[in-house]
Structure 1
Amino acid sequence: MAHNLDNIDKKILDELQRTGRLTNQELSDRIALSPSPCLRRVRALEKQGIITGYHAHVDQEKCGLPINVFVLVKLERPTEENMVKFEALIDQMDEVLECFLMTGSHDYLLRVVSESLKSYERFIRRELTRLPNIAAIESSFAFGQVKRQTRLPL
């Protein structure tokens, strides 16, 4: 469900996406709104589920996970029941950072991180291929990341 965001809401979201650790005073100064109504708006955006949380951006390589793999998965029978089961099992795999339901010849696109090719191979052999109802898995390795943006263009 789309929400009608006014310009002040968009400014609040833009600033919080840039720097999630802003104090309410800093945020209100940046968007030229007094602190009390600013805080009310932030709380309303949180309550509506538009702001879903706050997190730190962590350097993947410095944490020992330099490998990014994009994995296309095709299910043998993509029924609703099989999809729900697959998604619940994928949700439990820490290596899978993102999972998208897709159109086209594959059912899912996963973004998987790994410390090495060997550890990715273990993940494939011990976890992904053991899931029920898998028809095909295709892995593409990223050489590097050209752009990373988590800020939505509001």
Structure 2
Amino acid sequence: MGNEVTLDAVDRDILFHLRRNGRMSNRELAQLVGLTPPPCLRRVKRLEDAGVITGYRAVISPEAEGRGLEVLVDVEVYATDKKSVLEMEAILASYEEVVECRRMFGRPEYFLRVAVPDHAAYEAFLMRKLTGLPSVLRVESKLTMRTFKNEG
């Protein structure tokens, strides 16, 4: 976080409601947390300025974007020197199909969320892009059966 801020119960309540509906009006939010609109707006602004609230976004249905298949991918690499790591991360971040990428402690070194239209598109991504990277040792794909909780 930017400037350290101590969160009280009202701040946590504001965050709870904004996490569920970031588009609600300040008046609605103030009513939910038991404040009048001006102090509620000041608190939200303070949370934004302190880096507690880092942004607002629309959550789009993957199917609407033509990305109905999500695959969770573990990637193990054999080269972990700084240059190789930075190159690998730049390449992975550049792939449109990769919607989330995490460097992990231990193995696997990387965890990816890949969103594509279908199985053929995932196979093409895997064969033409991911497995062709010079540092890749092993890839393990996991298909999602059902998502029942996703907080963003």
TM-score (normalizing by structure 1)? 0.87
Describe the SS at the equivalent of 1:74: strand
- In structure 2, runs of 5+ residues without a counterpart are none
**Alignment match, 1:21:** 23
1:3-152, aligned counterparts within 5 Å? 3-150=5-152
Number of aligned pairs? 150
Instruction: From the superposition, tell whether residues 47 and 120 of structure 1 become closer, same or farther in structure 2 (CA, over 3 Å).
Output: same
Q: Identity, % of aligned pairs?
A: 38
Could you tell me how far 1:118 is from its partner in structure 2? Answer: 0.8
Q: Distance in 2 between matches of 1:53 and 1:19?
A: 13
Q: Distance in 2 between matches of 1:32 and 1:22?
A: 15
Could you tell me how far 1:107 is from its partner in structure 2? Answer: 0.2
Instruction: From the superposition, tell whether residues 72 and 59 of structure 1 become closer, same or farther in structure 2 (CA, over 3 Å).
Output: same
Describe the SS at the equivalent of 2:48: helix
Between the two structures, name the one with larger relative contact order (CA 8 Å, sep ≥ 6): 1
Describe the SS at the equivalent of 2:131: helix
Describe the SS at the equivalent of 1:4: coil
Deviations 1:108-141 (A, max 9, x none): 1101111111111111122222333111111111
Could you tell me how far 1:3 is from its partner in structure 2? Answer: 4.9
Letter paired with 1:40: R
TM-score (normalizing by structure 2)? 0.88
Instruction: From the superposition, tell whether residues 4 and 103 of structure 1 become closer, same or farther in structure 2 (CA, over 3 Å).
Output: same
Q: Distance in 2 between matches of 1:73 and 1:87?
A: 12
Describe the SS at the equivalent of 1:52: coil
Could you tell me how far 1:69 is from its partner in structure 2? Answer: 0.7
Q: Distance in 2 between matches of 1:43 and 1:3?
A: 12
Q: Distance in 2 between matches of 1:130 and 1:4?
A: 47
- In structure 1, runs of 5+ residues without a counterpart are none
Could you tell me how far 1:71 is from its partner in structure 2? Answer: 0.7
Q: Distance in 2 between matches of 1:3 and 1:142?
A: 38
